[in-house]
Amino acid sequence: MKSGKVYALVQARMSSSRFPGKVLQELESKPMILFQIQRVLKCSLVDDLYVLTSSDKSDDILCEFLSKNSIKVFRGSLLNVNKRFLEFMKTRTECTAFVRLTADCPLSCSDIIDYAISILKDNNLDYVSNTLLPTFPDGTDVEVVNKDAFISLEKNILTEYQKEHVTPFIYQNPNKLKLGNISNKHNFSRYRCTVDTKLDFLAVTKLLTINPNLHSEADFSSLKMALLSLNSPIQITEPRLAISQIPWRDYSFPYE
């Protein structure tokens, strides 16, 4: 892959159907999206960070907050999020890859993100994720995408689902691009750290109250220890299933 900058792009909106306004809910004295951003900024391989939100007026309040906190924002389509990402990437000639994150994942782990970036770069891949065959907690999802490969798919006809979720066309067509998946030695995909509902939010809030070190320690090892503790409030579900068909290359996460 040619040299260039890597941007972390946090996809966010205020109009969540299950938990409206969740990205600005106070999570241990700061809005949830700011908590996540501060963890992502601990990455050593991310050159810049933007929040990609919509041009809908419902997101004006989010943009005002981000602007006051010196966080860069790009606004685009509300429902066609794939188009939002495409429009942003076409204006950033210095960027060669991006990390896609969603703002309902306040416990993003900097070392997982950095490892995914290094795998993409070192192996000349088009797409690297830890969700093709999930072994990490729900809510620590990472996708790193080669910019040129992403833009090359623009002419394909996308379903409404593919437009909303940005990357499904990539992993639903694994023979078109070079994919990589990061696997953890132990399967933690049963742990639910994402925030889709108010109950999810309360569980994550309690986890942070019990484990205040997670405010400053953004690595997966710290999160793993918190999840394994006897008093962890995080919901345990059925293991998550693969979202793509092989072929992809598998890479073991080295930081146990």
Residue 166 has pLDDT above 70, yes or no: yes
Query: Mean pLDDT score of the chain, rounded to an integer?
Result: 95
Structure confidence at residue 3 as a pLDDT band (50, 70, 90): confident
Return the pLDDT at 1: 65
Put simply, whether the predicted model's pTM sits higher than 0.75 gets the answer yes
pLDDT tens for residues 201-210? Answer: 999 999 999 9
Q: How is residue 125 written in tokens?
A: 């891949």
Return the pLDDT at 246: 78
Three-class secondary structure assignment of the chain: CCCCEEEEEEECCCCCCCCCCHHHCEECCEEHHHHHHHHHCCCCCCCEEEEEEECCHHHHHHHHHHHHCCCEEEEECCCCHHHHHHHHHHCCCCEEEEEEEECCCCCCCHHHHHHHHHHHHHCCCCEEECCCCCCCCECCCCEEEEHHHHHHCCCCCCCHHHHHHCCHHHHCCCCCCCEEEEECCCCCCCEECCCCCHHHHHHHHHHHHHCHHHHCCCCHHHHHHHHHCCCCCCCECCCCCCCCCCCCEEEECCCC
Residue 256 has pLDDT above 70, yes or no: no
| Beta pairing class for 26-27 and 30-31 | antiparallel
Residues 110 and 114: their CA atoms lie apart, in Å, by 6
Looking at per-residue pLDDT, the higher value among 245 and 84 belongs to 84
Q: Where are the domains of the chain?
A: 5-252
Structure confidence at residue 13 as a pLDDT band (50, 70, 90): very high
pLDDT tens for residues 205-240? Answer: 999 999 999 999 999 999 999 999 999 999 999 999
pLDDT tens for residues 94-118? Answer: 999 999 999 999 999 999 999 999 9
- Class in CATH terms, 5-252: alpha beta
